[in-house]
A and B are shown apart, each in its own frame.
Chain A
Amino acid sequence: MIERRDPASPPPPPPPPPVAPPIGRVVATEQKPATPHQFHFWTANETSIGIGAIVRVVEPGNGKGETGKVVYGVVTDGFAYSDLATPLHDVVGAEGDPAKAAASPTVRQEIRLWTAAVLRQTPEEPLQPVPLGQVHVATDVDVAQALRMDAYLGGAQPTAIPVGLYTSGGLEAPVYVDADFLLGPEAAHLNISGVSGLATKTSAVEFLLSSIFQHFPPHKGRVAAVCFNVKGPDLCFLDRPGTLDDEDRRRYQRLGVAPEPFQQVRYFAPFKADGVNLNTLRTHPDLVGDVEPLVWGLREVLDYAEVLLNRDDIDAKADAFIDFLADRVVDKEFEDGFGGVHRVVTFADLERLFRSIFDGLELAGRGGGDSWRTHHIATMRKVRNRLANISTRCKGLVTDDGASNDLPWGRFADRTVYVVDVANVDPLGQDLVFARVVSQLRERLERRDLGVDAVVVFVDELNKYAPADGPETYVKKMLLDISERGRYLGLVLFGAEQFRSQVHRRVVGNAGTVVFGRMDADELATPGYQVLSPATKIKLATLPIGELMVRHPHFTQPIFVRFPRPAVLRGRDGVERYPPTADLPFEDAVARQLVKLDRRVRPNQVKDVIADRREEDVRRALAHTRQTRPQDALAHFKKQLGGRVAAAPAAARESVPPLNAISDEPY
């Protein structure tokens, strides 16, 4: 086992000389020579090595006490053939009967010939072709040497993060990645590809996050993770223990990672359209109390209006008007020019402002005016319609008039996972959530006031958010920005997708660490995989669950590793153990939220209070209570809800004639 060394302790003694017999011998011919980067060796027919195995080649000493060169390689291809000159000769020998061929008294001479790519040579200079020496199976120490892990496993400030177990020929050795190259600043980001349905991608990220949280070096500061749950219940039970078998536990022990679920997880999910039931699969009564609503108002949305508004729709004029609203109107005392004073905080406030402006213009328009503060009425109507559409399409996430509830910006906690569940949210809303959360992370990491020094952002379905082709969306631009500049900030992207070839090149290209699960054969046929040998591709196409191929800046060749099942409850198991409850009636849902805020609240009290009240009033009062978190939640709620007002007939309004009897204005 590779032990993590205490920097204060003396360096360990050099490894003992290998005693195991060689398993092969390097051969070189004119057709297949040994080079500084590749060599070939043969083994017995019955051998334990296979594709991905790490081997050590030892050059014989010169007889003067000097040891020869040592070369580490990873097996990338294998060949087997016999001394059969042509297949026809086998047919002749068997008289055309395959059964006879199998029964021949002698088995032909066969060879197992392997091709290996050089991982490392010691000494590294001069770089020379691989010597024609004996081949040995790599030991733990060899694996560390071969993968250059010795550079970050020891020393005063080790930065090793266990990623999995290299397993070959009965030998098993932990493989570590370098935190400086996984989470910055030297390199950063991780990209994982693999076919859907095997849970490999999500499981790998869950295990790796757990490993990071347990092994992130103290000198590098505090770390957190923000995970976007974009499908099903995948990430809804990270705080619940999953089922592990003995083999998993043994692997955890070998890797030095405690097999336990995440200790600190905070869940955020928007409401459903009713504004009171959470839009998540984590709604089981035992768990739903941990889920915090994600609700945004006008201010949160307006800053990212670009995400929500179709760029084709928004011209420079509309853009200017949105900027005007954001800079001059929202959250400020504002005089509309028609005698009204507004303080726009919510969408409802904005709508009132629009109505006031349009009414004012119409009244004034009898003289022919159709502009307000240099903005044409058509532009304003267009922006109004688009913004109104947002609160409709993203109802539950975007509140018309309630208070917002957001991630704890500035108060991110160390070793905490923040799960943002947008699995059932409209794609437009998903974009908004992603853009705003990532922007906030970036801005606050720049200002160093997030609460942690590094954040891992896990985004699945990169095919969708950062496609190789398609329009330049705001989300894609953000992902590119993280990929290219995030490592300096500590903003690290862990991206997953089914088809790496269909993700933007700069997003995958900037990932310092690349992980492959089982791959689709069609995907492996794309140019991005040309560097892999046919055998490696075949192995990738048939990779079992729990095995990955890892590329890391310290590894000169991809390495296959096995990782244990994550110690958290898998999504599909979670929904079986904690089945989601059906949506509660409005009254019950409100009561549950108030009970969550204040255990003294009795549901019946809540139902009495909200009986016959308008739902939007209830929602507004509930949002305010949730945001304020008063000691007496019910009293505060009642106060916000106000007294009942008897219905009165509406006063007659002065009618306003339309600007034109038949208007061409399409909005």
Chain B
Amino acid sequence: MTVPGSWVEAVVAAGAVPASHIPEASLGRGDVEEFIGADPVEGGELRVEPLSDARPLAPAAVCFLDGIEQWRVVGYGGITPIVRAHAAAAIRRRGPDRRLRTVAEATAEVAITRLDRLPAGVRGALEGAGVRVLEFPAEEAGQPARALAAARVEVQKTRTALERRLGEARLRALAAEEWLVVDGVLSDSAALSEHPRALGVVKSHGAQYFEGAELERALTLADGHRTGVFRPKARGARRDIYSWYVRLWPWEGNDLLYGLLRLEARAHPETIALASPIAAWIRAERAPVATPDRRWDRLLYPIHDVETYLRARAPRDLTPLPASRLPRTAS
């Protein structure tokens, strides 16, 4: 659903000081940084498996799910920021003709602020504008920098909720030989983490699962190899899944994380049997390369395509302009 941007005009007319600021953090998705540990399930300790003999899985059709988030501070009520955020998610399906076509899509526009910190008039205007309002916690509302960080979390929640909703709906429509590849973790969703043909592709490696030699083995994985399957230790609401690393490109001369992906699939013995075919399949997805995205070494082209699609359809005024922020009058 797209809500007209007129609610911004309404709150400005009600007394909010207009602003136009796109925080740097809104340009990309933050990594979840945590240490949870893991238990190898393919052998006693984390192993390294070559993929040279693995026959790549070749699904007849694959759906790729990704989402984007964009946000902008559009005004201040006192020192409390009023954020306009746009989140979108889409699934693009690749059939036998190897072309991607959109099969599902969802968007959300929300206002994020702390209502009780706004002047009454501005608050009334915002509540009456018909836009969905999300509030960051009261304890984050004092210092604007903290408020913006809190707003960002709300934007991410909105986006992940959209992705989850789309993904779970798509699972019900998957054909027998069709897979769903999700950009990110599966463990946010019970349905996704239990489905036999759902695959999570994780590019960020903030989470630490191993220590010592196993960690070194994982992070120095050679090109064309995968690690053994392991079970990340569940924490909080995260569901039980199996995971393994795969290297898409040689990292030597670049960085340890260069071309390194972590895959997630359901926690099931069949996943262990499919680990190499799946890793070989994902490695085959290196081409075409997802340039000019800077993360091209880890970004699968179909995921890049979904992002491109969503950004092409996102509101233009949330896209940062390639210009300096000259002082603007508040009128």
Contact = CB atoms under 8 A, between A and B. Distances in A.
Q: Do A and B come from one complex?
A: yes
Interface of A: 83-86, 89-90, 92-94, 100-101, 104-109
A104 B287 CA distance: 6
Interface string B203-225: 00000000000000000000000
Contacts of B289: 89-90, 92-93
B62 to A, nearest CB: 8
Interface residues of B, number: 17
B63 to A, nearest CB: 13
Interface stretch (B73-81, B97-105, B136-144, B184-192): B97-105
Given A83-B308, A93-B286, A106 B302 contact: yes
Nearest to B62: A105
Contacts of A109: 100, 305, 308
Give the one of B98, B284, B286, B288 with max A CB within 10 A. Answer: B288
B116 to A, nearest CB: 41
Contacts of B97: 107
Contacts of B44: none
Contacts of A86: 291
Contacts of B291: 84-86, 89
A198 to B, nearest CB: 39
Given A85-B292, A93-B289, A100-B287, 11 more contacts: A83-B308, A89-B288, A92-B289, A104-B98, A104-B288, A104-B301, A105-B94, A105-B284, A105-B285, A107-B99, A109-B100
A106 B286 CA distance: 10
A352 to B, nearest CB: 91
Can you list the 6 inter-chain pairs with the closest CB atoms, starting with the nearest?
A93-B287, A104-B287, A93-B289, A85-B292, A107-B98, A85-B291
A106 B292 CA distance: 17
Interface residue SS majority, chain A: loop
Interface of B: 94, 97-100, 284-289, 291-292, 301-302, 305, 308
Contacts of A105: 94, 98, 284-285, 287
Contacts of A107: 97-99
A412 B270 CA distance: 95
Contacts of B302: 106
A22 B284 CA distance: 37
Contact of B301 (A85, A94, A101, A106): A106
A107 B308 CA distance: 15
Contacts of A84: 288, 291
A94 B98 CA distance: 16
Nearest to B286: A93
Contacts of B100: 106, 109
Contact of A93 (B98, B99, B288, B292): B288
26 contacts: A83-B308, A84-B291, A85-B291, A85-B292, A89-B288, A90-B288, A90-B289, A92-B289, A93-B286, A93-B287, A93-B288, A93-B289, A94-B287, A101-B288, A104-B287, A105-B98, A105-B284, A105-B285, A106-B94, A106-B98, A106-B100, A106-B288, A107-B98, A107-B99, A108-B301, A109-B100
A83 B302 CA distance: 12
B16 to A, nearest CB: 31
A277 B14 CA distance: 106
Given A89-B289, A89-B291, A106 B284 contact: no
A92 B94 CA distance: 23
